[in-house]
Every structure is written in C-alpha cells, then in structure tokens.
C-alpha cells in the first residue's frame, strides 16, 4: 500500500491498482481513497462500457501513461475494479498517486 493507503501491486507485466468508480459525476477527477481503493469520478454513465473507457482516459491523463497500457482486469461491470498498468513500476505509480492525491486534499 502507498502511504495514502492505496493498494498498488507489482506484477510480472506491470502494476495492479484497485479503484472505486463513481459514474455520472459532474466532472471526471481523482477523488481520494476509500477502503484501499483510489476513488475516480467520471462523467460517463455506466452503460455500454462508457464508464470503463472514461476510467482508462482519466488514469492515462492523470498518471501520464498511454491508454493502450491500461486495462481493466477485474470488476468490469461493477464500481469496484482492478486496473492493470502494463510496463509500469509500482514505485513510480505510487509516487505519482501520492503527488496527485496531495493536490486533491488541498
């Protein structure tokens, strides 16, 4: 876990991250941590994979990784998801999340 309490796991292919998605939000943003999961608010509705696509876009922009490196590997139809960031290092992702979440807390 990162110091902020997010579960970030190094795997053979990259990093896995647990997220909690809140669809139909007024804006897409990182919104802190809840029960070890990064909370993501996305404007897209949970219909026809729109929210999943919004999650990928939001994480790619926030973490500055290519969208093609991000895959939802668990919970595709639920609000609690596991996301894999291929080719990334846990230390780098944890550091970036810490920086981004410190901005959210302000």
Angular region, 71: left φ>0, alpha ψ -120 to 50, beta rest: beta
Say if domain 8-105 classifies as CATH 3.40.50.10680: no
pLDDT digits (tens, 9 = 90+) for 32-62: 999 999 999 999 999 999 999 999 999 999 9
First vs last Cα of the chain: how many Å apart? 22
> Rounded CA gap, 36 and 27, in Å?
22
Question: Distance of alpha carbon 85 from its chain centroid, rounded?
Answer: 9
| φ and ψ of 32, to 5 deg | 95, -155
pTM: 0.91
* Residue 48, C-beta contacts closer than 8 angstroms, at least 6 positions apart: none
């Amino acid at each position: 876990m990162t110091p902020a309490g997010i579960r970030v796991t190094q795997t053979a292919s990259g990093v896995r991250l647990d997220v909690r998605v809140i669809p139909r939000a007024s804006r897409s943003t990182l919104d802190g941590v809840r029960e070890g999961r990064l909370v993501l608010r996305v404007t897209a509705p949970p219909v026809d994979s729109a929210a999943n696509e919004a999650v990928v876009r939001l994480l790619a922009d926030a973490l500055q990784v290519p969208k093609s490196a991000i895959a939802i590997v668990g919970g595709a139809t639920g609000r609690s998801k596991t996301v894999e960031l291929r080719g990334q290092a846990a230390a780098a992702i944890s550091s970036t999340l810490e920086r981004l979440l410190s901005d959210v807390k302000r």
